[in-house]
Structure 1
């Protein structure tokens, strides 16, 4: 397997990427209250946007094994608030030293293949070389699967003094009337 960094995905590779994205995150359509998945038009826009790097893991047979997006131009990413980052880290934001990992999808046959760690390491090189900050959104369902711990272990192996911080938590509540009998 090899990982390429692409600026734009088009044609058959983009379609394959869309299928991987949908399959990998289908569960979040009903597991999370707030929308975590891009609509097709948003996805296509991100795949066409050269401000967003696409980390494309390709299996030996040429099929897409994994795909991730990464950028330090936070305006390029749907579903986040660049204003949050500008307010919290004004210097880093102004100097474009905040990178956002939009998503990381791995095809089922390639889970536990090392592609996760390899891509995280490639991304981390940019952050570390610029004394920057990396951020991503992990919903409660993925936090329960310890995705944040896996990333922290990977980054700690690369940079022992890295500090992981939860930036935000949101809880959705409902108030329901009982069914009349």
Structure 2
């Protein structure tokens, strides 16, 4: 599976990317309390930002099979706190050896095709070559689907001594009055 790295996505490819992104993550709009999807303006900014690499895989007929975003400039990513990473790993943060994977979106007809693994592998090679750290956000929904385990399997095949660590957990609670009978 071939993966290209692009600095900027524009025009038709950006529209195709937006469609892939919203389709791939539609369920998270109602399955997760906290917003996990970027708004269109945020998405366009990320795809136009050359600090964020776009890992792109195409089908044999040129359609977008998979897309991920990846950067070691953590200020470029919405929805995360660069200060967290700077505090936890000050040296690696200062040396820009922490990469954040914003998302991995796979077209529905390309799941189980190896696209996901190819994208993860290509990004991991960058991290490994720089003795760095890779991080991403997984909501409980994706953990229940064992996405963390799938990524760990892929990375372990490439680097047997890789260590996966949960960085943070957030729980949302509610309190309500009982319904009248």
Q: Considering the TM-score relative to the shorter chain, is it more than 0.5?
A: yes
Q: Secondary structure at the match of 1:2?
A: coil
Distance 1:127 1:71 in 2: 10
Distance 1:128 1:6 in 2: 20
Please identify runs of 4+ aligned residues in structure 1 that moved more than 4 A: none
Distance 1:130 1:93 in 2: 12
Q: Figure out how many residues of one structure are paired with residues of the other and give that number.
A: 181
TM-score, scaled relative to structure 2: 0.98
Q: Is the 8 A contact 1:58 1:64 kept in 2?
A: yes
Does residue 164 of the first structure (1) align with residue 164 of the second (2)? yes
Distance 1:166 1:172 in 2: 18
Task: Report the RMSD for the aligned CA atoms in angstroms.
Answer: 0.7
What residue in structure 2 maps to residue 120 of structure 1?
Answer: 120
Q: CA deviation at 1:75?
A: 0.3
What residue in structure 2 maps to residue 76 of structure 1?
Answer: 76
Q: CA deviation at 1:116?
A: 1.0
Distance 1:163 1:7 in 2: 29
What residue in structure 2 maps to residue 45 of structure 1?
Answer: 45
Q: CA deviation at 1:2?
A: 2.7
What residue in structure 1 maps to residue 62 of structure 2?
Answer: 62
What residue in structure 2 maps to residue 32 of structure 1?
Answer: 32
**What is the 5 A alignment of 1:101-112?**
101-112=101-112
Unaligned runs of 5+ in 2: none
**Cα-to-partner distance string for 1:4-27 (whole Å, 9 max, x where unaligned):** 110000000000000000000000
Distance 2:37 2:119 in 1: 21
Q: Is the 8 A contact 1:2 1:57 kept in 2?
A: yes
Distance 1:67 1:166 in 2: 24
**Cα-to-partner distance string for 1:98-138 (whole Å, 9 max, x where unaligned):** 00000000001111111111111110111111110000000
Q: CA deviation at 1:148?
A: 0.2
Unaligned runs of 5+ in 1: none
Q: CA deviation at 1:57?
A: 0.6
Q: Secondary structure at the match of 1:55?
A: strand
Distance 1:60 1:7 in 2: 22
